[in-house]
């Protein structure tokens, strides 16, 4: 076993069964979702919900910044793209 594999295996073993939350509640939620129309993604636990909320806030801020960028205001119609390609060949 390589050094990396040994370290990774050791960390995984020490983290196993030390996760926050209630596994019985998680299984109950998963089983309930399987009988209904299941969502594409689920977040189980307050730590997961917080991580996803943070990521969504970051992405929303990133999109808002890009929307105000001048480069986003250019047209990307097929005609405009062909014109730009033709101009670059000159």
Euclidean distance between CA atoms 11 and 44, whole angstroms? 22
The predicted structure's pLDDT at residue 16: 67
Tell me the two tokens of residue 3: 């050094």
26 in Cβ contact with 47 (< 8 Å): no
| pTM for the predicted model, two decimal places | 0.46
The predicted structure's pLDDT at residue 87: 67
| Mean pLDDT, each 10-residue run in order, the chain (90 residues) | 73 70 85 82 84 92 81 62 66
Q: Where are the domains of the chain?
A: 3-89
Euclidean distance between CA atoms 90 and 84, whole angstroms? 10
């Amino acid at each position: 076993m390589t050094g990396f594999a040994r370290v990774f295996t050791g960390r995984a073993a020490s983290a196993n069964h030390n996760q926050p939350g209630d596994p019985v509640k998680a299984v109950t939620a998963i089983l309930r979702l399987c009988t209904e129309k299941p969502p594409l993604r689920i977040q189980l636990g307050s730590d997961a919900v917080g991580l996803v909320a943070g990521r969504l806030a970051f992405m929303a801020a990133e999109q808002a910044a890009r929307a105000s960028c001048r480069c986003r205001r250019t047209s990307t119609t097929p005609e405009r793209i062909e014109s730009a390609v033709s101009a670059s060949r000159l």
